[in-house]
Amino acid sequence: MLKGLIFDLDGVLTNSARFHLGAWNDLAKELGINLTPDQLDSLRGISRMDSLNLILKYGNQEDKYSEEQKEEFAAKKNEKFVEQVGKMTPDDILPGITKLLADAKSQNLKMAIASASKNAPKILTRLNIMDEFDGIVDPATLHRGKPDPEIYEKAQELLGLESNEVISFEDAQAGVEAIKAAGQFAVGIGSKQLLAQADYIVPDTSKLNLKEIETAFNKYEE
Q: Which residues sit in the known binding site for Mg(2+)?
A: 8, 10, 170-171
Binding stretches for Mg ion (CB under 5 A) = 8, 10-11, 45, 171-172
Query: CB–CB of 19/85 below 8 Å?
Result: yes
If one asks whether residue 113 binds ligand G6P (CB under 6 A), the answer comes out as: no
84 near ligand G6P (CB under 6 A): no
| Residue of 14, 25, 42, 119 that binds ligand G6P (CB under 6 A) | 119
Please answer whether residues 127 and 93 qualify as being in contact, where contact means their C-beta atoms are separated by less than 8 angstroms. Answer: yes
What is the end-to-end Cα distance of the chain in Å, rounded?
10
Could you say whether residue 154 binds ligand G6P (CB under 6 A)?
no
Residues in contact with ligand G6P, counted by CB under 6 A, come to a total of 16
Angstrom distance (rounded) from CA 128 to CA 147? 29
CB of 128 to Mg ion, least distance (A): 20
Binds ligand G6P by CB under 6 A, chosen from 115, 156, 173, 205: 115
- Nearest Cα neighbor of 206 from 97, 90, 88, 129 is 97
165 binds, among ligand G6P, Mg ion, none (CB under 5 to 8 A by kind): none
Q: Which stretch binds ligand G6P (CB under 6 A): 44-52, 55-63, 98-106, 195-203?
A: 44-52
Pairing mode, strands 185-189 and 200-202: parallel
- Please confirm, yes or no, whether 10 is among the known catalytic residues: yes
Of 5, 44, 104, 195, the one binding ligand G6P by CB under 6 A: 44
Residues in the chain: 222
Q: How far, in Å, CA of 215 to CA of 71, rounded?
A: 46
Q: CA–CA separation, 165 vs 99, rounded Å?
A: 21
Least distance in Å: CB of 10 to Mg ion? 4
Instruction: Give the shortest CB-64-to-ligand G6P separation in angstroms.
Output: 21
Select the binding partner of residue 78 from Mg ion, ligand G6P, none (C-beta < 5 to 8 A, by kind).
ligand G6P
Q: Does 97 help bind ligand G6P (rule: CB under 6 A)?
A: no
Instruction: Give the relative orientation of helices 17-30 and 67-85 as an angle to the nearest 10 degrees.
Output: 140
Q: In angstroms, rounded to a whole number, what is the distance separating the alpha carbons of residues 162 and 166?
A: 7
Q: Which residues are catalytic?
A: 8, 10
